[in-house]
Structure 1
């Protein structure tokens, strides 16, 4: 879906498809340099990271394995309960492995902090994070993110995997959702 298909639903386009792909290429070069001798296991966080994971993995010039997790701290609410549940666990054993968590966006950092600690407790040699987007002003806990694509303001963003009510995930860019859509 292109921006023009839903222009009335957005107040602005924050990041274009071209900018996203250029940033993922840049991040891929850094990851290749950092993991030249031992490619990491990429762990995508469902559902939002699907687009990031797919395009990032295709950009890499090294063999990598991929796996997926789904975690939730929201349930049916719009505010975190503070209790994280694993909805889909890894299929891959991670003990002794380098793990690179691939995220679409980091808001409060609460779920990611829990996820990082969980994977470390399973005996991973290292656990690092790659996030396409980070909202520094929304952070409630400090989470070290090794690879950050873009820092964005605390706006309600959609596209490139990010949704509102399961819509807009397939938008090729990232835009700010207009309040009339969700109020």
Structure 2
């Protein structure tokens, strides 16, 4: 077995990566030279991310494809997933028997310093007034705080899409409606996920070396 299992009901239909799964040798992939010494392993290759994202787009359109959708991106960590997900939704809109308007909005949340969640969650420059009475797809993390803000705008429907859900004892038990991958409690970077703003320019999701945390620590 390769460590990837499709979850049953209650896990958002995500692919489950087992605790013992260590990923792939980074030498099998193209890694930017400025990060070669900082990464332990490639955890989820870029191609697998894109394939999973395409399936999520199909599921979303099947469930919500009869409504005007406002796609809300959580910045900065969600921008790559958001862009690729919207590309797949756009393709389905163009090639399917039916299509719906999709508009976009953005909210920026700052909740991490180094590799630990910050005590205070900061919403930076959010503009959520466009959500009134709309159906929403949201991508990103720190859902409880953001969903509380969104609820005040009285949208007709809210669906949460998250590329990653981490199995951790600190989890509040919240599950998104759509999940790309359920992963062990590992600190990962890449595909717009950062460590103090570094590694967003890495295509694959990778495991960071412990000494790299000290190298880039604020």
For the superposition of Structure 1 and Structure 2, which TM-score range results when normalised by the shorter chain? 0.7 to 0.9
The question of whether the paired residues in 1 share the 8 Å contact of 2:69 and 2:134 is answered with yes
CA distance 1:164–1:2, shift in 2 (3 Å) = farther
* Corresponding position: 1:71 with 2:109: yes
**TM-score, length basis structure 1:** 0.87
- Between 66-75 and 141-150, report the one with greater CA deviation: 66-75
* Corresponding position: 1:153 with 2:184: yes
Cα-to-partner distance string for 1:3-24 (whole Å, 9 max, x where unaligned): 2633321111111110010000
CA positional deviation for 1:80? 2.5
| Counterpart in the other structure of 2:206 | 175
| Counterpart in the other structure of 1:3 | 31
The question of whether the paired residues in 2 share the 8 Å contact of 1:2 and 1:171 is answered with no
* Distance in 2 between residues matched to 1:166 and 1:181, nearest whole Å: 13
Q: Which of 45, 48, 68 is matched with 1:16 structurally?
A: 45
Structure 2 counterparts to residues 23-34 of structure 1, below 5 A: 23-34=52-63
* Distance in 2 between residues matched to 1:152 and 1:46, nearest whole Å: 21
CA distance 1:139–1:34, shift in 2 (3 Å) = farther
| Counterpart in the other structure of 1:57 | 86
CA distance 1:165–1:71, shift in 2 (3 Å) = closer
CA RMSD for the aligned pairs? 2.2
Rg: which structure is higher? Answer: 2
Structure 2 unmatched ranges of 5 or more? 1-28, 94-100
CA distance 1:74–1:167, shift in 2 (3 Å) = closer
| Counterpart in the other structure of 1:144 | 175
Structure 1 unmatched ranges of 5 or more? none
* Corresponding position: 1:112 with 2:147: no
SS in 1 for 2:127: coil
Q: Which of 179, 182, 194 is matched with 1:163 structurally?
A: 194
**TM-score, length basis structure 2:** 0.74
* Distance in 2 between residues matched to 1:178 and 1:76, nearest whole Å: 13
